[in-house]
Structure 1
Amino acid sequence: MRGANAPDRSRLLEGFARIARRAGDRIMAIYSGAAPVGAAAKADGTPLTEADLAAEEAITAGLAALCPDIPVLSEEGAGAGAPPPGRRFILVDPLDGTREFLGRTDEFTVNIALIEDARPVLGVVLAPALQGRLWLGDVVAGQAERREAGAARGTPIRVRPVPAEGLVAVASRSHRDAETDAFLARLPIASCRSIGSSLKFCLVAEGEADVYPRFGPTMEWDTAAGHAVLVAAGGRVATPDGAAFLYGKHAAGFRNGPFVAWGGGGGAAAAAAGQGAPTM
């Protein structure tokens, strides 16, 4: 994909966008229904709803038609014994923020990303309950945009320089922890906003926030699409010591370690926090 031409990348990215919207429509049909949404507990204790499964089905079918030659690793289909995905594969979270979905905060997303050589190169993040807003990122082209529902084209987005008044941080609504608080205490934080799902990456990407630290557990499908959007918008995602944040960790069950997502002032802010200089 890094060597693929722009039309090929555009075809895949626009295909991801269409598929994400189909999944979003299925989610919203359930979310807007009169009946309460029930949830079962998965083996790891996280909730699973019929909306997760409906979105998974729509995305799986869509990707099989769009790019049948690229392996797909999805949250609901990962399961024990999933084979190593190889150097090029797609990561899918059909409903990121299931707790937010159940809590009716509207802060849930659909996430699709293409990984190549352990790094995200294309990604889309859809917020179906937030006016169907969509974020798209092409890392190779260095282009990211925010697209409103029904729009054929979007508005280019870019990370911002560090504001003179201090950084705006975003942190998990459901998984805030002491390590996050300690990390933020070392930075010149002007304000901190708690929000669910991969929306945090998108807020940094469009210059509404500057840093998103995460020390609690996440899975690769939770972060890949937002990671792609942020890097395409000029931001960075790194481990807390500044090392590259990579994908395809089959031996670890595709579980992520801690990371920090940085906006335009990542290098200076990392130094202020006593961290290594962030890399892609």
Structure 2
Amino acid sequence: MSTIMLTSLIPTVRRAGRAALEVYSGDIEVRRKADCTPVTEADIAVDEIVVSALQKAYPAIPVVSEERVASLEAARGAHRFFLVDPIDGTKEFIRRTGEFTINIALVEGGVPVAGIVHAPALGRLFIAEPGANAEELCERDIRTALKVRPCGDDSDLVALASRFHDSAATRAFLRDHAIESCITAGSSLKFCVLAAGKADIYPRFGPTMEWDTAAGHAVLAAAGGEVVTADGQPLAYGKPGYRNPDFIASSPGARARCMGKSAGTGT
């Protein structure tokens, strides 16, 4: 079990959130990266704050950040590494929905064992430490424990879907499992909504990267949830190219109803 605790990074993450909000409140200049995805000054500012803090605090642990192409080789073959997404939900940021997040995850042996998800525009911060429960830090750092909600055979399932990445496969999944209630949300907040017991299942059929999901995955797992691939295997990290396959994030009960007996928590 890891002895690294992410609580010490909370002031850094909040400082990064304030830097993001300075850009968010002004004229947002959007550029396109080589892969045609958008990037803003906030991505770069947050990356500098967070990655610098991690490298200073844990110089022996590789840091992989979406905004640092050179870092993608840093964790090759590493048992332990950090995954950082400076601004997850750049489209949310540009459209000013408020549902963008700063993600930091600690991965060990392919498993996200700890994570921080901070939504600065919403004033919300979620954290999962190794071997501990997931929590949301509220005003004055009052901590609220998070737990996925039980899902009985007779209860109506509530699904989550991406606001800007809807797909025919997602709609088919909801139809095939008679899920009529679906709410939309942006970025890694979807994992935190599940962790807080406000929904049951998040099917994702479409491209995502490991830094998009690792921190939220850690929070959900610590709240009793799980993330598995479409064939029921735990979603693993440190894959070549850091690309995720299709996955299902859920409570164990929702997964059992939609996919059969659980193969594990993915933690």
TM-score (norm 2): 0.93
Is the aligned partner of 1:48 residue 2:39?
Answer: yes
Cα deviation code 1:150-190 (max 9, x no counterpart): 41x41001000126441111111111111111111122424
1:196 pairs with 186, 200, 212, which one?
Answer: 186
Distance 1:149 1:92, change over 3 A: farther
Deviating beyond 4 angstroms after TM superposition, the runs of 4 or more aligned structure 1 residues are none
Superposed CA offset, 1:12-52 (max 9, x none): 2102323221211110111123xx20111111111000000
Residue 15 to residue 85, structure 1, CA distance change in 2 (3 Å): farther
Residue 231 of structure 1 corresponds to which residue in structure 2? 221
* Compared CA separation, residues 117 and 28, structure 1 to 2 (3 A): same
Measure, in 1, the Cα distance between the counterparts of 2:203 and 2:210: 16
CA contact (8 A) 1:122 1:228 kept: yes
Secondary structure in structure 1 of the residue aligned to 2:68: helix
Q: Which of residues 50, 58, 61 is equivalent to 1:59?
A: 50
Q: Which runs of structure 2 are paired with 1:43-192 in the superposition (5 Å)?
A: 43-79=34-70, 82-83=73-74, 84=76, 86-130=78-122, 132-141=123-132, 143-151=133-141, 153-162=142-151, 164-192=154-182
Whichever residue aligns with residue 135 of structure 1, its letter is F
Which residue is equivalent to 1:21?
14
Letter in 1 for 2:78: G
Q: Give the letter aligned to residue 162 of structure 1.
A: C
In the alignment of these two chains, the number of paired residues is 263
**Cα displacement (A) at 1:85:** 5.3
Shift of 1:265: 1.2
Give, as a single letter, the amino acid of the residue that structure 2 aligns with 1:241.
D
For the structure 1 residues 263 and 139, does the alpha-carbon distance in structure 2 shift closer, same or farther, using more than 3 Å as the test? farther
1:117 and 1:196 mapped to 2: Cα distance? Answer: 28
CA 1:16–1:185: 2 relative to 1, 3 Å:
farther
Secondary structure at the counterpart of residue 36 of structure 2? coil
Distance 2:217 2:66 in 1: 17
**CA-CA distance at 1:240 after TM superposition:** 1.3
Overall identity of the aligned pairs, in %: 49
Tell me the equivalent position of 1:255. Answer: 243
Mark the CA change 1:215 to 1:276 in structure 2 (over 3 Å): closer, same or farther.
Answer: farther
Letter in 1 for 2:253: G
Q: Which stretch of the first structure deviates more once superposed, 162-171 or 109-118?
A: 162-171
Contact 1:213 1:259 in 2 (8 A): yes
CA distance in 1, matches of 2:113, 2:182: 29
- Matched residues in 1 for 2:65 and 2:192: separation? 21
State how 1:213-224 maps to structure 2 within 5 Å.
213-224=203-214
Instruction: State the match for 2:256 in structure 1.
Output: 268
Contact 2:47 2:86 in 1 (8 A): yes
What residue number does 2:233 align with? 243
DSSP 3-state at the match of 1:261: strand
- SS of 1:266's partner is helix
Measured after TM superposition, the shift of residue 69 of structure 1 is 1.4
Letter in 2 for 1:277: S
Contact 2:136/2:146 (CA < 8 Å) preserved in 1? yes
CA deviations 1:209-230 (Å, max 9, x no partner) are 1000111000000000000000
Take 1:218 and 1:85, find their aligned partners in 2: how far apart are those partners?
Answer: 21
Distance 2:220 2:90 in 1: 22
Q: C-alpha root-mean-square deviation of aligned residues, in Å?
A: 1.7
TM-score, normalised by the number of residues in structure 1: 0.89
